[in-house]
Amino acid sequence: MAETAQAIEVRDLYKRFGPLEVLKGVSLTAKQGDVIALIGGSGSGKSTFLRCINMLELPTAGQVTIHGESIEMKSDGHGGLMPSNRKQIQRIRTKLGMVFQSFNLWQHMTVLQNVIEVPVHVLGQPRDKAIEVAEALLRRVGLYEKRDAYPSFLSGGQQQRAAIARALAIQPLVMLFDEPTSALDPELVGEVLSVIGDLAREKRTMILVTHEMKFARQVASHVVYLHGGVIEEQGPPEAIFENPQSERLKKFISSIH
Ligand code: ADP
Ligand code: MG
């Protein structure tokens, strides 16, 4: 694998759900260390875009390349694509750490069990090694003392920090965040943004879907504004937030502030 490989390269991605065309040719490249903030109104296709990157949704057309490895797709015979190699999809998923709006922790497992599950049962890491890594990650996100608690006993902010530790435990090449603070009570947003901010400062490659514009302005290296399934405008955060060109983006930014 070339040293210069982009972390993520998405080319001309289309996704339709029946008659509804949600993504209409989206291309985006994330280099290592990039923090890409993906912004846009509700229904603009942000979640679908992230989900197509890790193949939780199959694109209708287009190409996704993760660290130089293109995901091989073939026609499904109905105008869509399907993976031609399921093992490859599984392997690529282990390079992507996904954090969802609704945390999605496994409720029947403790915090620690949540964090070691994939490393032990999917990646085949020795349990004691996985626990060591997990405990270090839980310390980082301020949850070490909650390692034996079940998710339902945690606040939303704690659950989301546990979900971030779980995503980090696979040592992903890229972190994908889908509105990680949107489900949180306002007083819990800061503790989660602080963890994500630390990751951004460490230059961890990430694509972050967020409505937290002030935060995006601070941490993003590049901002992409999606509208109606196409990239309407993109650029460095200063340009996007202080000098937006499109009328729609201007309206969007002022509606959120
Ligand atoms: P965003 O995250 O920007 O709010 P989404 O990607 O979730 O937008 O959704 C974009 C559009 O696609 C919406 O109109 C939504 O209803 C539709 N959509 C998303 N997922 C599905 C699905 N699985 N089946 C049908 N329509 C969907
Ligand atoms: Mg969404």
- Express each pLDDT in 131-149 by its tens digit: 999 999 999 999 999 999 9
Report the side by side order of strands in the sheet with 35-39.
96-99, 174-178, 206-209, 35-39, 222-227, 230-235
Instruction: Give me ligand 1 centre to Cα 23, in Å.
Output: 10
* Mean pLDDT of the 10-15 span: 96
Where does the pLDDT of residue 80 fall: very low under 50, low under 70, confident under 90, or very high at 90 and above?
Answer: confident
Q: Which atom belonging to ligand 1 lies closest to the Cα atom of 209?
A: 2
- The predicted structure's pLDDT at residue 229: 98
pLDDT in tens, 145-179: 999 999 999 999 999 999 999 999 999 999 999 99
Instruction: Give me ligand 2 centre to Cα 43, in Å.
Output: 7
For the chain, what is the radius of gyration of the CA atoms?
Answer: 18
Sequence spans of domains, the chain? 6-255
Decide: residue 152, CB within 10 A, 0-12 exposed, 13-18 middle, 19+ buried: exposed
* pLDDT(86) > 90: no
| Second CATH level (architecture) for the domain 6-255 | 3-Layer(aba) Sandwich (3.40)
Q: Which atom belonging to ligand 1 lies closest to the Cα atom of 49?
A: 6
Quote ipTM for the complex. 0.98
* Mean pLDDT of the 73-81 span: 85
Question: Does ligand 1 lie within 6 Å of residue 182's CB atom?
Answer: no
Where does the pLDDT of residue 3 fall: very low under 50, low under 70, confident under 90, or very high at 90 and above?
Answer: low
* Ligand found nearest the CA of 48: 1
Where does the pLDDT of residue 59 fall: very low under 50, low under 70, confident under 90, or very high at 90 and above?
Answer: very high
Cα(209)–Cα(76) distance, integer angstroms: 29
Question: Coil, helix or strand for 70?
Answer: strand
Decide: residue 58, CB within 10 A, 0-12 exposed, 13-18 middle, 19+ buried: middle
Evaluate whether 128 touches 119 at the Cβ level (below 8 Å). Answer: no
- The predicted structure's pLDDT at residue 134: 98
- The predicted structure's pLDDT at residue 84: 86
